[in-house]
Amino acid sequence: MQAKDLLLTRSSMPRVVSPGPSAEQLRLLEQAALRVPDHMSLTPYTCLVYQGAALQQLSEIYTAVSKLEDLTPAEQERAGQLPLRAPCVIVIATQYQVKEKVPSLEQYASAACATMAMQQMAFTLGLGAVWRTGVYAESNHMKAALGISSDNDIVGFLYVGTPAVPTPIKPSKDIQLFTQM
């Protein structure tokens, strides 16, 4: 795929199934995440990859967190199924460093770029991926369960797998974004 085509046609894939990414494909996602703009090259983020048995553990964490967050009975019932919607879930979390020249906001921006880069790489490889957040990304209970300190942020859960449906074609945004000055 041409880089221009990627940038002009990239789409998320809301429904993915097995097989998940191969080891080589995961390595490409990792490399893409390491290639993003990064002020002072801090790499202020980490990625936790859940597949197979680990994904089952993540499912149990979701269930436990849904209870700790006192979500509705219906949400608690559904919680464990959420991460099982993909054969591979990558949790992207910040690893903020105290740097006078690089405020946390910039470091979060790099982590978000890394998430986007992985989503783009998945698309390029013919995989499907979608960036999800929600209450679980905000939860300190979730952070604790994943070993992420409460002063860091979960940037997202990237669901990766084989596309289960044709790529949704979004209409182009009819917006004049640029203001000529």
Ligand X SMILES: Cc1cc2nc3c(=O)[nH]c(=O)nc-3n(C[C@H](O)[C@H](O)[C@H](O)COP(=O)(O)O)c2cc1C
Interface residues with ligand X (CB under 6 A) are 11-12, 14, 130-134, 156, 170
Closer residue to ligand X (CB): 14 or 64: 14
Helix or strand holding residue 132 (H, E)? strand 128-132
Longest dimension (CA), the chain: 55
Smallest distance, ligand X to C-beta of residue 85, A:
10
Contact 10, 120 (CB under 8 A): yes
Smallest distance, ligand X to C-beta of residue 165, A:
13
Angle between helices 104-124 and 23-33 (to 10 degrees): 140
What is the spatial distance between Cα 19 and Cα 81, in angstroms, rounded to a whole number? 18
Tokens of 25: 């494909």
Closer residue to ligand X (CB): 26 or 154: 154
Smallest distance, ligand X to C-beta of residue 146, A:
17
Closer residue to ligand X (CB): 103 or 134: 134
Amino acid of residue 10: R
Smallest distance, ligand X to C-beta of residue 100, A:
27
Amino acid of residue 66: S
CB atoms < 10 A from the CB of 31, how many?
12
Closer residue to ligand X (CB): 171 or 179: 171
Closer residue to ligand X (CB): 67 or 170: 170
Smallest distance, ligand X to C-beta of residue 131, A:
4
Residue with smallest beta-carbon separation from ligand X: 12
What is the spatial distance between Cα 47 and Cα 105, in angstroms, rounded to a whole number? 18
